[in-house]
Amino acid sequence: MANFCTKCGTPLVDGRCPKCDPKPDTSPKGDKKENGEDTEVHPVHENYIQAILNMIRRPVTGFQESVADENSKVGLILMGIEALASGLCVFFLIDKLISKATAGLTTSYGTFGSTISSQLPSAGGYFLKEVIFSMVFALITSLLVWGLMRGMGKAEINWFQSCQIVGVKSLGCAMGWILAAVGVIVELNVFAVIVLLVGMVLGNIYYYAALFNYPKTKKDGVTYAALLIVIIMAVIMYLVLTQMLTSAIGSGLDSLNSLENLL
């Protein structure tokens, strides 16, 4: 009877009764691919700072863990951080230009130069415009990502998740804007330009990595969705920049008219 269960009489396997004392299941849980990899990344519920740090350390895995939480607001937070960072960078740049212009006019023309410098635009206005422009641009991109990923990539995605895809781009760009702002403050202009360009490139690398590593999508469809997003955003950027240039020229002409009246 040593080889049989004393309770039910079932033959023992490795000294255990398969009915009364089953061996615990030690195999990893979750769906598996044929090669043994997980087909699904489960959401990691954590604070937003930790989620952002994870994306910096592990861009693909960190993004997949974050986007698995379909209601995470980390994408919107990253978009807001980029908007503020770009606004601050523009503010410091315009403020320095205005300060130098004011100092030059005052030195050359005295009180009259101070009067002229009062007609110069405010740096605060440029800060507000840049923040609004950056945020609106990111939100439009997120809507395009949401629609095209669903339509062409056959992805199960909601708007918050599309914001996370755009948010990883904002993460890279924000780092460039912040370092560029520091460069402008300490008057290292070449450094500011270089780190801004590196930040833009890094942001786009994060962005395309997120697009192509979004779970359960048709990769061929995502490829052409990414192309359409680039084309549409390029057209929008062209129209916006054209309007901004026209507005700037109009403001410059108004300033010249004001100076003529002062003279």
**76-94 pLDDT, tens digit each:** 999 999 999 999 999 998 8
What pLDDT does residue 35 have? Answer: 43
**What is the per-residue pLDDT for 123?**
73
Those residues of the chain that have pLDDT short of 70 are 1-2, 22-46, 104-121, 244, 248-263
pLDDT for 23: 64
Output the DSSP codes for the chain. -TTB-TTT-PBPBTTB-TTTSPPP--SPPS-B-TTS-BS-PPP----HHHHHHHHHHSHHHHHHHHHTSTT--HHHHHHHHHHHHHHHHHHHHHHHHHHHHHHHHHHHHTHHHHHHHTTSPPHHHHHHHHHHHHHHHHHHHHHHHHHHHHHTS-----HHHHHHHHHHHHHHHHHHHHHHHHHHHTT-HHHHHHHHHHHHHHHHHHHHHHHHTSSS--HHHHHHHHHHHHHHHHHHHHHHHHHHHHHHHHHHHHHHHHHHHH-
pLDDT score, position 139 = 93
199/172 Cα distance (integer angstroms): 5
CA 101, CA 119: separation in Å to the nearest integer?
11
Predicted pLDDT of residue 110:
60
> Of 140, 151, 161, 156, which is closest to residue 210 (Cα–Cα)?
161
pLDDT of residue 211: 92
Which residue is listed with tokens 């101070």?
114
Euclidean distance between CA atoms 163 and 78, whole angstroms:
9
Up-side HSE of residue 81: CA atoms within 13 Å toward CB? 21
pTM, to two decimals:
0.70
Q: So what's the pLDDT on residue 84?
A: 94
Q: Say what the pLDDT of residue 13 is.
A: 76
pLDDT of res. 190: 92
